[in-house]
């Protein structure tokens, strides 16, 4: 994992952050992006959303299309070249950006730029805890929640304790862990398209574990996972609500949950 050293930024008091919005957030749940901006600005960051950004390249990468992945990576590297940090509300997309150096020849200029971007790119909750090192933001949200760990966030970026630390510092929020919270929900990007039967079984098992906690809300850090869980819950007639954790932390959880009608 890159070294977290806020002191080395050009402006210690107001680090310049580029928001990587992610395709799913941009198209399906923009509120997560607004919540991320709110948190970053609350922490004293100057936030910009580069209009040149597109996809992180993960669908192409997972399908073995390295030329297109490389082209996407080059565009992303250029779009975020002038920021102290790049922050995204997705461990999955951050994990993909951290893979960019492997797309280029070692010792090349392109490889050096990819390494530089990878070292500056963070998932929002990890950024708050590991880089900014700030106390948890206060939220008026109350109730019993459970937390789903995304595979990319947990296994690639080692994001496990950070969201729990931020959530549990709020006294009106009770976190009830699932028996197997680290199990995959079955989304896996293109996995759920290639293997729908296996994916359905995995998300059904996940929902059973959620039910056993008695939580009225399930939180997570990746919209892909949360949409998968919310969709299966809806088809099963469940009433448990699904939200991205940043919506709760930014005190923006008073509207419809994921999968609910606006």
Q: Does 193 map to a domain?
A: yes
Assess if residue 257 is contained within a domain: no
Tell which of 74, 101, 131 closes a domain.
131
Of 89, 114, 131, which residue is a domain's last?
131
Domain that holds residue 55: 6-131
State the pLDDT confidence band at 262, using cuts at 50, 70 and 90: low
pLDDT at residue 98 is higher than 70: yes
| Statement to judge: residues 92 and 155 lie in one domain | no
Query: Quick one: pLDDT at residue 140?
Result: 94
Q: 195 and 231 in one domain?
A: yes
Give the model's pLDDT for residue 191.
78
The mean per-residue pLDDT over the stretch 61-65 comes to 92
Give the model's pLDDT for residue 2.
46
Chain segment 26-60, per-residue pLDDT in tens: 999 999 999 999 999 999 999 999 999 999 999 99
State percent of the chain over pLDDT 70: 95
Do 127 and 177 lie in a common domain? Answer: no
- Is 258 within the bounds of a domain? no
Q: Which residue has the higher pLDDT, 9 or 248?
A: 248
The yes-or-no verdict on residue 246 having pLDDT over 50 is yes
Count of the separate structural domains present in the chain: 2
User: Would you say residue 45 lies in a domain?
Assistant: yes
- Say yes or no: 17 and 121 in one domain: yes
Give the C-alpha distances (Å, rounded to integers) separating 150 from 140, 160, 190: 25, 9, 15
> Does the predicted TM-score (pTM) go above 0.85?
yes
Question: What per-residue confidence (pLDDT) applies to 9?
Answer: 44
Residue 216 counted as domain residue: yes
Same domain, 41 and 114: yes
pLDDT at 10 over 80: no
Cα–Cα distances in angstroms (integers) from residue 126 to residues 53, 130, 166, 175, in the given order = 22, 5, 10, 18
Conformational region of residue 139, where left means phi above 0, alpha means psi within -120 to 50, and beta covers everything else: beta
Give me the percent of the chain exceeding a pLDDT of 90: 81
Task: With a cut of 50, say whether residue 203 has pLDDT above it.
Answer: yes
On whether both 227 and 144 belong to a single domain, the answer is yes
Among 91, 114, 131, which residue terminates a domain? 131
Q: How far is CA 81 from CA 53, 183, 216, in A?
A: 11, 36, 42
**26 and 87 housed in the same domain:** yes
| In a shared domain, residues 166 and 204 | yes
User: Are 63 and 123 contained in the same domain?
Assistant: yes
How far, in Å, CA of 125 to CA of 168, rounded?
13
d(CA 31, CA 91): 17
Has residue 152 been placed in a domain?
yes
Are 88 and 22 spatial neighbours (Cβ–Cβ below 8 Å)? yes
Whether 256 maps to a domain, the answer reads: no
The distance of Cα 224 from the centroid of its chain, to the nearest Å, equals 9
Q: What is the mean pLDDT of the chain?
A: 92
C-alpha span between 128 and 30 (Å, rounded): 20
Q: Do the domain assignments include residue 261?
A: no
Span 150-170, pLDDT tens digits: 988 888 899 999 999 999 999
Residues in a beta bridge with 47: 17
Task: Clarify whether residues 28 and 99 are in a common domain.
Answer: yes
On whether both 46 and 117 belong to a single domain, the answer is yes
Residues 79, 182, single domain; the answer is: no
| Per-residue pLDDT at 24 exceeds 80 | yes
The domain that holds 88 is classified in CATH as 3.40.50
């Amino acid at each position: 994992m890159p070294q977290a050293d806020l002191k080395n930024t050009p402006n210690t008091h107001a680090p310049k952050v580029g928001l990587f919005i992610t395709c799913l957030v941009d198209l399906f749940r923009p509120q997560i992006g607004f919540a991320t901006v709110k948190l970053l600005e609350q922490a004293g960051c100057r936030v910009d959303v580069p209009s040149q950004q597109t996809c992180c390249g993960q669908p192409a990468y997972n399908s073995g299309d390295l030329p297109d992945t490389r082209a996407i990576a080059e565009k992303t590297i250029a779009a975020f070249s002038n920021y102290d940090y790049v922050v995204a509300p997705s461990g999955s997309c951050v994990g993909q950006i951290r893979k960019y150096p492997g797309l280029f020849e070692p010792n090349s200029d392109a490889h050096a730029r990819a390494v530089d971007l990878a070292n500056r790119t963070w998932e929002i909750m990890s950024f708050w805890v590991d880089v900014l090192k700030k106390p948890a933001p206060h939220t008026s949200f109350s109730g019993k929640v459970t937390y789903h760990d995304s595979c990319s966030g947990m296994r690639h970026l080692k994001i496990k304790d950070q969201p729990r630390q931020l959530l549990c510092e709020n006294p009106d929020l009770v976190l009830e862990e699932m028996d197997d919270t680290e199990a995959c929900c079955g989304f896996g990007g293109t996995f759920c398209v290639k293997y729908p039967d296996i994916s359905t079984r995995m998300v059904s098992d996940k929902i059973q574990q959620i039910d056993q906690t008695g939580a009225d809300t399930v939180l997570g850090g990746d919209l892909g996972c949360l949409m998968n869980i919310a969709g299966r819950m809806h088809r099963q007639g469940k009433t448990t609500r699904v939200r991205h954790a940043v919506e709760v932390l930014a005190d923006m959880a008073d509207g419809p949950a994921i999968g609910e009608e606006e």
